[in-house]
A and B are shown apart, each in its own frame.
Chain A
Amino acid sequence: MNFKHKYVFLFPGLFVLIGILIFPIIFTIRLSLSGWNSYTPEMNFIGITNYIRLFTDDPRFWESFFRLSFLSVTTVILQYVIGFALALIVWREIKFKRFFRVIFLIPMMTTPVIMTVIWRTFFHESLGPVNDLLGNLGVEPILWLSDPVIAKFTVIIVEVWQWTPFMFLLLLAGLLSLPKEPFLAAAIDGASPFRKFVYVTFPLMAPISIGAIIIRLIEASKIMDTVFVLTSGGPGTATETSSFYIYIKGLREFQMGYAATLSFTYLVIMIISLTIIAKVLTKLMIKE
């Protein structure tokens, strides 16, 4: 039997890998070197012109990237803190534990676009119920969607509401899988609940916390639907994120070549930055 035949068995997997991962990336790179747009719809070759434009003449992309960084880091931190707190609550023996576990998961089970439409209605400045309720309490209408600063926090509220359950689910699974012995030892030593959390629970949860944070950071960095429906990137460009900006360039203005440049650059930046973040978190949270 020819030993080389074993490689034949790799072909199906390799074929799928090339089809769904390698080919799109190579195609995107090739597209990024073209000037494909609405008036020249062809895969011509313009070298690195698009990359020069991006790095020398497109502050809007970089602004959207830094805005995205702020939004994703803030939302993930909030989701982690709230998700951990909720997980700790239902980890204990409390009444209606199963009921609360299901309730906490509901936001994640809803369709993001539909829920964002509902949130947009809530926050509508002249017709929405939020300002109406505040008005009954004597509070002036808040410009939830039309003030450049407040609009960012409105996006954060919706994102946190939608995705905290995901963090809750992962962290609860982590808590349920923790060994009982360290907690018994801490109890025998008379450790307070706070010390138990700081010296036992949190360190033991560090690996799963890092995993959960990285997964959510990856997802949060692709934030698109919430921004699209809630603010359309506005007012002005105050809530425009990288993915929304790439969408505008590619599918609204139809600068396909340039949008491919943005996409590929964004992919490289994300791979590098998430790798660094994962290493930093590991160093900070896991003590040998």
Chain B
Amino acid sequence: MKTIKTYVVALISALLVLSPVAYADKWSDQFPHIKATGDIPGECSYDAMSKKNYKGKTLKINTHAVPVMGEPTALHAEQFAKLTGAKVDVTHTPAGDLYAKAMVPFQAGQAPYDIVFGFSNFINDWKRYLEPVPKKYVEMKQMQDVTPSHIGIASWDGVMYQFPVDGDRHYLKYRKDVIDNPEYQKKYKADTGKELRVPQTWKEYGEMAAYFNGWDWDGDGEKEYGSAEVMKKDDLMYAAFYSRSAAYSKNPKTPGGFFFDLKTMKPLINNPGFVEALTDWVAATKYVPPGGINFGLGDEIGSFGGGQTLFSFSWDDAFVAAMQPDSPINNKVGAAQLPGAMKVWNRSTNSWDEGFNQAPFFVWGWAVGVAKKSKEKEMAFDYLCFFANEANHQADIGIGRFGVNPFRNDDFKADVWTQIGWDKDIAQSYVDTLAQMEDSKNRVFPLRVPGTFEFNAALATAAAKALAGQLSPQAALDEAAKQWEDILNRVGKDNVRAAYSVGVAMEDNKL
């Protein structure tokens, strides 16, 4: 009797253990994208979606150009169509036009797109036109794993308007095989008298990048360069500039605003801290690859991910691209926090505070919402839920060009990354970097105020003029500050202050 019982228990256990495998195989055969994990049970899994019937219905999506976010959108649209019978039309739009492409119909009271992709800092302008995420999605298991900061990013006044599909921050990526190479360390020391190490400051970053610029230091027969950066005016370059500025301008001794002085709403972007950062950046045009001044995000990912440069800093994508099995620099890269500075501007004393300062920049990244006027809201939310389901998410975060980055608690475990072939120490340094940024008390968050797009566009134009040599860094930022004053007057200082105070409270660790 005991033997029979043992067999039954063993059989049931085997069935329980093997059934997910069989279940996984069923879907990964049809959808090779999830072959590593198979389907993972959940409210929006492949299996759950296959039970929905949207035959005869059309879902219209406006997303970014391929590949960053555009490629996963299209891929999951195709999968969703196969599973549910829906027709899914995907429109791809350059980053600079995502805002307007949604806003024009929004303001005209139309909904040519059921789903609109953009950046999370659009939330203030977009929220009145977006349908809040229904309770059933907010409360589902899949959403419980999203980090509180990313739930906050997707929400305004406690209402979630954007469905979390991505989590972003800027950090440093470097070629480990060069920086940790004893021969190069010796050579660098002999030639410059300085240590070759993970750059601690932007000055060190510039010196090393300039040294390793324009020669074949990895022996592949091609020239390599110092740094790949997003410098193209209409392609998120403002975020790159804020990253370079944070160390010089985010002074923990002067709370109350990074972009504006919250009390007076005076723009701070032309103070000596920002000017120093822009001066560094202008110097960087000498150590980027030819044409690097026109690099957008996709170019930066391709350049660093393809092994063309020593450094890069921006979102996770270039790092993940570099770590893909087909990358020429697979497991040859390292991650670290953004470099700091040996001085930081103190706007209270109007002077530099000497000493090391570091400030991570949380670039909140891709966001997506459902139009309030959409006639297919249920299908739209199901699509987004499917997009971010666990199987898709795990597959997506391992593909650099997709632009889908960690935003779930599980993503911050090294095991997730070693499972897809990363070396253990690299995976650990990556998750440690992300964790250190989360723990920092001197963080900068992006501007989320009415007219965000205008502020960032004015800053980008001015910075681009400086990079192109049309204006000096000081003149360029004075021009930007003047435009920010004009925008403030048009939007209303109190409107901007009210929204900005939320971000300042987060920066000052009050939220």
Mark A residues whose CB is within 8 Å of B: 35, 37-39, 41, 57, 60, 124-126, 131, 141, 143-146, 148, 231-238, 248, 250-255
Contacts and interface: CB of A to CB of B under 8 A. Distances in A.
B470 A251 contact: no
Contact of B104 (A232, A248, A251): A251
A253 B471 CA distance: 22
A11 B125 CA distance: 44
A232 B233 contact: yes
B250 interface: no
B464 A253 contact: no
B290 A41 contact: no
B66 interface: no
B447 to A, nearest CB: 14
A52 to B, nearest CB: 12
Interface in B95-113: 96-97, 99-100, 103-104, 107
A118 B100 CA distance: 27
A234 B450 contact: no
A234 B233 contact: yes
A236 B470 contact: yes
Nearest to A228: B94
Interface stretch (B192-200, B327-335, B453-461): B453-461
B302 to A, nearest CB: 9
B294 A146 contact: yes
B403 interface: no
A13 B103 CA distance: 34
B465 A237 contact: yes
A252 B465 contact: no
B322 interface: no
Contacts of B289: 125-126
A235 B468 contact: yes
A235 B231 CA distance: 9
Contacts of B450: 38-39
Interface in B431-475: 450-451, 453-454, 457, 461, 464-471
Interface of B: 96-97, 99-100, 103-104, 107, 125, 232-235, 289-294, 308, 450-451, 453-454, 457, 461, 464-471, 486, 490-491, 495
Given A233-B233, A236-B468, A125 B291 contact: yes
A136 to B, nearest CB: 15
Contacts of A234: 232-233, 293-294, 464, 468
A145 B97 contact: no
A122 to B, nearest CB: 12
Contact of B107 (A41, A143, A146): A41
A254 B490 contact: no
Contact of B490 (A37, A235, A252): A37
A41 B233 CA distance: 26
A211 B155 CA distance: 59
B495 A235 contact: no
B457 A252 contact: yes
Contacts of B125: 38-39
Nearest to A125: B291
Contacts of B453: 38, 252-254
B233 A125 contact: no
Contacts of A124: 291
6 contacts: A126-B290, A144-B291, A146-B290, A235-B294, A236-B471, A253-B454
Contacts of B292: 126, 146
